[in-house]
Structure 1
Amino acid sequence: MKRCKVIVTGLCFLLLSIACREVPQGPAAIGKSENLIEKPWMLGPFERPKSSKPIIQSDSIAVFDDPMSGREVAWRSKATFNPAALVRDGEIHVFYRAEQDLHTDSIGGHTSRIGLAVSEDGVHYQLEKKPVFYPDDDDQKQYEWIGGTEDPRIVEDEQGRYILTYTQWNGDVPRLALATSEDLRNWTKHGPIFEEYEGGKYHHRETKSGAIVTELKNGKLVAAKINGTYYMYFGVPHIWLATSTDLIDWTPVEDYQGKLAPVLNPRPGYFDSWLVEAGPPPVLTDDGIVVLYNAGNSANIGVKDLGNRVYTSGQALFSAEEPWKLLDRSDTPYLKPELPFEKSGQYKDGTTFVEGLVYFDNKWYLYYGTADSMVGVAVADAR
């Protein structure tokens, strides 16, 4: 990926700066003036397609036999949102969180499962009729009944194995968990990621949003080893870090007191003043590790015009040699709720909650959940 790193002076520098911030020609953008590349290391700018419509929506047609209730249920009847994504066999695979309507107005009060949509062109998506990952009558039911399996992120390793991180929700404590597959259909659940660490030190603490660092190899994003180690950014309202040598067993990065060491924090005065949360798998670039993250705003100490609890998206740059070392971060969101379907639904304050990123046809495809209800996509030319 090429970066604007030419050394220039005077007027040439000014002209180059303007050129680096121009939005490339392509699909019509929403709010072009705000979707600029703020810093040269950032991915993007990301533009919504001309249709400006959600690519995945809920319906009551798709049903399957639910192991929990022992009956047929409409598993995506309430909402479809918060998608992961990867490319396999030349097609984009989008793994989205689907909620079954349990007739409550409580956010998080429905059963979640993970569905799959496949696209050959990044425009049209074919939804599979049954979920590909869900709470089953297995050894994880104590953590997944009846809230379900939520908010996936997915990566591929160099051997072609798929690693899924997701949230287990049993109505008590949300836990970051992991599963693996060879074919994206048959999954082995490995349980909560930190269940065994130091006698379950973090097992009863809320953990979620595990984003494993990737790199672009031969036109495909794969899990990246940095000095022999895999890294995963995770957590909310701060972002923490964990390490692994096999992508299965993870060790959280702690400070000298044995406490989780936050590597990215909320900032008073900015769009991420309330919380920060890991987004899609980060990307290792020539500049460092680019982390696309979700940001919540607190209007009284953040950006007043955004309002309270609004989720936008930011980017942060970490050192490739020291992945806990923050080098830079965006001052404004590169994606925020602007369209009606991004500001209406279960989460009426509005979200553009990013969780899936793929490199496809020389472009970046960024998949996000809207208002806890639908799935959207934004696209950027690779530079």
Structure 2
Amino acid sequence: MKRILLWVLLSLSLSASAQTWQLTGFKKADAENPILSPSLEARFLDPISGKKVAWENKNVLNPTALVRNGIINLLYRAQDSLGTSRIGLATSADGIHFKKRPEPILFPSNDAFRSFEWPGGIEDPRIVEIENGGYFLTYTSYDGKYARLCGAFSKDLQTWEKIGPLFTSEKYLHTWSKSGALVSVQKGSRLVAHQMGGLYYMYFGDTDLFLATSKDLRHWDILENAESGVRLAVLKPRAGYFDSRLVEPGPFALLRKEGIVLIYNSSNAANYNESRFPKFTYAAGQALFDAQKPYKVIARTNEPFIWPNQPYEKVGEVNEVCFVEGLVPFNGKWFLYYGTADSKIAVSIKK
């Protein structure tokens, strides 16, 4: 009996220890959610069509976030009635109540990148600070056929320098790519892009997860399998689990003492899935990567920590979706912002 009890206690201890790397304890702000909804009034003179458009009258979704001068800045994807996406900005002093800017801050234009961004637009931003000042944003451009992972720099969140697709080689320029999450470190309320061995690392992809490196945030190389020459998948879907259909990065990847913690989005497959969730449910899990070998998974959650269970998460443009993309430390708490049913935006808070 004593041996059995000792074994049970040891197992519980190991289990608890194995979970210490995770970001746990998030609670949805159900009384306030959704915190951001589409606007029928906001108008914007589109530089390509030359017409005033209601640029966020269809959906708002998939936001990134940062703290600047004690204020949370939420950069979010907004869609017009034709489905073109642009990036809007909303600010908040408490993380719950936001004031939107009347016009988008990043959008397709008559510039060198129009062919990549029109007519689908600019989607799903993820932002980090740069050590020497300013911000680096990854986003997905969509031309109606290909999604391409792109980048942009800004000093003030108002004026942006687009650099276009991050993967420019002939091999990958016309390969579908999305959702770039950079390895970053927390410095107070700041999340700063971090170099390891002189390189920035970025997880990306929306089937498997892949990995890319850069010396300057402008020029990126994808890690490949030396034998096959294909992109090296560092995280894959799992049959029988909530992430059985696909995996996709959430916010930045956070470097901690235990390793690199990546919150990731996932979708439940039509079969050989997690039967507790409807097929194609989008929920979020977490993975821990080795800081010395960022391609190596050390641990991974078997259960999602956030999933659709509210009406605005279960029914919308795309049903059954919680898609996490924004995470900030603010006033002693973590605020996690996510898209709901590809239609609105909500927050979950960790104290």
Whether TM-score is above 0.5 comes out as yes
In 2, distance between residues paired with 1:279 and 1:253? Answer: 20
In 2, distance between residues paired with 1:95 and 1:319? Answer: 30
Residue 283 (1) aligns with residue 263 (2): no
Alpha carbons 1:299, 1:305 under 8 Å: kept = no
Residue 69 (1) aligns with residue 49 (2): yes
Residue 86 (1) aligns with residue 66 (2): yes
Matched position secondary structure for 1:304: coil
Corresponding residue for residue 115 of structure 2: 142
The count of aligned residue pairs is 345
Please point out which of 293, 299, 322 is paired with 2:264.
293
In 1, distance between residues paired with 2:114 and 2:186? Answer: 36
Report 1:113-152 matches (<5 A): 113-152=86-125
> Which sections of structure 2, spanning at least 5 residues, go unmatched?
1-5
Alpha carbons 2:208, 2:248 under 8 Å: kept = yes
Matched position secondary structure for 1:341: helix
Cα shift at 1:12: 7.2
Deviations 1:3-47 (A, max 9, x none): xxxxxx7787688789x69xxxxxxxxxxxxxxxx8221012211
In 2, distance between residues paired with 1:317 and 1:234? Answer: 15
TM-score by length of 1: 0.87
Deviations 1:134-174 (A, max 9, x none): 00111110011111100111111111221110011110111
Alpha carbons 2:86, 2:121 under 8 Å: kept = yes
Q: Aligned-pair RMSD on alpha carbons?
A: 1.8
Corresponding residue for residue 160 of structure 2: 187
Matched position secondary structure for 1:368: strand
Cα shift at 1:236: 1.4
Residue 304 (1) aligns with residue 275 (2): yes
Corresponding residue for residue 58 of structure 1: 38
Alpha carbons 1:299, 1:306 under 8 Å: kept = no
How has the CA–CA distance of structure 1 residues 337 and 236 changed in structure 2, closer, same or farther, with 3 Å as cutoff?
A: same
Please point out which of 201, 212, 225 is paired with 1:255.
225
Corresponding residue for residue 128 of structure 2: 155
Matched position secondary structure for 2:276: helix
Please point out which of 224, 234, 238 is paired with 2:204.
234
TM-score by length of 2: 0.94
Counterpart residue type for residue 306 of structure 1: F
In 1, distance between residues paired with 2:66 and 2:20? Answer: 25
Alpha carbons 1:289, 1:318 under 8 Å: kept = yes
Judging by fraction of residues, say which structure has more strand.
2
Counterpart residue type for residue 141 of structure 1: R
Deviations 1:98-144 (A, max 9, x none): 00012xxxxxxx10000011011112111111000000111110011
Matched position secondary structure for 1:160: coil
Please point out which of 237, 257, 269 is paired with 2:240.
269
Matched position secondary structure for 1:123: coil
Alpha carbons 1:68, 1:146 under 8 Å: kept = no
Counterpart residue type for residue 315 of structure 1: Q
Deviations 1:67-106 (A, max 9, x none): 111011100000000101111111111110000012xxxx
Residue 176 (1) aligns with residue 156 (2): no
Corresponding residue for residue 317 of structure 2: 346
Alpha carbons 1:149, 1:167 under 8 Å: kept = yes
Corresponding residue for residue 97 of structure 1: 77
Matched position secondary structure for 1:305: coil
Cα shift at 1:179: 0.6
> Which sections of structure 1, spanning at least 5 residues, go unmatched?
1-8, 22-37, 103-109
Counterpart residue type for residue 60 of structure 1: L
Corresponding residue for residue 3 of structure 2: none
Structure 1 runs (4+) deviating above 4 angstroms are: 9-18
Alpha carbons 2:32, 2:96 under 8 Å: kept = no
Corresponding residue for residue 206 of structure 1: 176
Identity percentage over the alignment?
46
In 1, distance between residues paired with 2:198 and 2:188? Answer: 20
How has the CA–CA distance of structure 1 residues 299 and 147 changed in structure 2, closer, same or farther, with 3 Å as cutoff?
A: closer
How has the CA–CA distance of structure 1 residues 253 and 71 changed in structure 2, closer, same or farther, with 3 Å as cutoff?
A: same
Matched position secondary structure for 1:143: helix
Counterpart residue type for residue 88 of structure 1: R
Cα shift at 1:211: 0.6
Corresponding residue for residue 4 of structure 1: none
Corresponding residue for residue 167 of structure 1: 140
Cα shift at 1:270: 0.5
Counterpart residue type for residue 374 of structure 1: K
Matched position secondary structure for 1:342: helix
In 1, distance between residues paired with 2:149 and 2:11? Answer: 46
